[in-house]
Amino acid sequence: MAVTRVFSVFVLALSVLSFAARVQAADPSPLTELDPEIAKRFGQVIHDKFAKENKDLQCKIEPNFEKATGLFNAESNEGIIAVPAKTFKEERENKELEKDPGAAVCFLCMSQTYNPLIDGKPIDPKKLRKVKFDDGQGGNEREATCLLCTVRHLEGDDYELYIYGNDKAPLIKSQFGEASNAPKNVDLALTIEDPKKDSASLVFNIFGKYSASVPIAHKLK
């Protein structure tokens, strides 16, 4: 009986440790959905300054601020905002899909904490466009990385997300596939998958059907 009790306690202890390990491994990202009104306000502030300071762009994106969306870390007051293009629609006959730079998807801006990665490493700052802006909290100046996002049709059912920085060629390319957990009833939504201590996947969900992911820098706390 004593041996049985000891063995039961041992098994229970292992189960608790295993559960704790799983919980730790599945730590949620501090990034949560940003209030649409805040996404709209800051998306417009950052875009207007970006447009004023940058003229030689790879593609023209007329922003639809009413549909701005984003993610926000309330503890650090940092986040990511995407402002869809007014021309962003689900239409496979769009001729812009068939040629570079692709059909406009959105203007993307992000805090430095969440800059995109290539091969798990930070991108050369010279390849990124950045603007400084007032965060509206006592005159604090912040810096945002600004990127232009398009979708390009390759062949058949193959489409890629193109993300442009400073260079003429796309900084990042990511294949679109069927979305597994996309928010419904919105043209564009951002979500986070596989959050880790220093990286995560930023997922672009479009029309509640398709998604493409991009590796970004990330902090769990």
Give the pLDDT mean for 48-75.
96
Has residue 48 got a pLDDT over 80? yes
Determine whether 47 is exposed, middle or buried from the number of CB atoms within 10 Å of its CB (0-12, 13-18, 19+).
buried
Q: Which of 21, 22, 35 is nearest to 81 (CA)?
A: 35
Please check whether residue 8 lies inside any domain of the structure. Answer: no
Question: How many structural domains comprise the chain?
Answer: 1
Please check whether residue 21 lies inside any domain of the structure. Answer: no
Q: Using a CB cutoff of 8 Å and minimum separation of 24, what contacts does 213-217 make?
A: 213/174, 214/116, 214/161, 214/163, 214/172, 214/174, 215/116, 215/117, 215/118, 215/120, 216/80, 216/110, 216/114, 216/115, 216/116, 216/117, 217/113, 217/114, 217/115, 217/116, 217/117, 217/122
pLDDT in tens, 68-97: 999 999 999 999 999 999 999 998 889 999
Average pLDDT, the chain: 88
Between the two ends of the chain, the Cα-to-Cα distance in Å is 46
Question: What is the radius of gyration, based on Cα positions, of the chain?
Answer: 21
Q: Are the beta carbons of 107 and 50 closer than 8 angstroms?
A: yes
Has residue 134 got a pLDDT over 50? yes
The boundaries of the domain holding residue 62 are 29-217
Task: Give CA separation, 45 vs 41, 50, 70, 86, in Å.
Answer: 6, 9, 14, 17
Per-residue confidence (pLDDT) for residue 19, from 0 to 100: 38
pTM of the predicted model as reported, rounded to 2 decimal places: 0.86
Has residue 5 got a pLDDT over 60? no
Please check whether residue 41 lies inside any domain of the structure. Answer: yes
Please check whether residue 3 lies inside any domain of the structure. Answer: no
pLDDT-based confidence at 26, cuts 50/70/90?
low
Per-residue confidence (pLDDT) for residue 18, from 0 to 100: 41
Per-residue confidence (pLDDT) for residue 16, from 0 to 100: 37
Has residue 54 got a pLDDT over 90? yes
Q: Which of 85, 72, 65, 64 is nearest to 35 (CA)?
A: 72
Determine whether 148 is exposed, middle or buried from the number of CB atoms within 10 Å of its CB (0-12, 13-18, 19+).
buried
Q: Which of 6, 77, 72 is nearest to 36 (CA)?
A: 72
Please check whether residue 18 lies inside any domain of the structure. Answer: no
pLDDT above 90 as % of the chain? 78
Has residue 205 got a pLDDT over 70? yes
Per-residue confidence (pLDDT) for residue 91, from 0 to 100: 87
Please check whether residue 205 lies inside any domain of the structure. Answer: yes
Please check whether residue 83 lies inside any domain of the structure. Answer: yes
Q: Which of 147, 183, 166, 137 is nearest to 41 (CA)?
A: 137
Please check whether residue 15 lies inside any domain of the structure. Answer: no
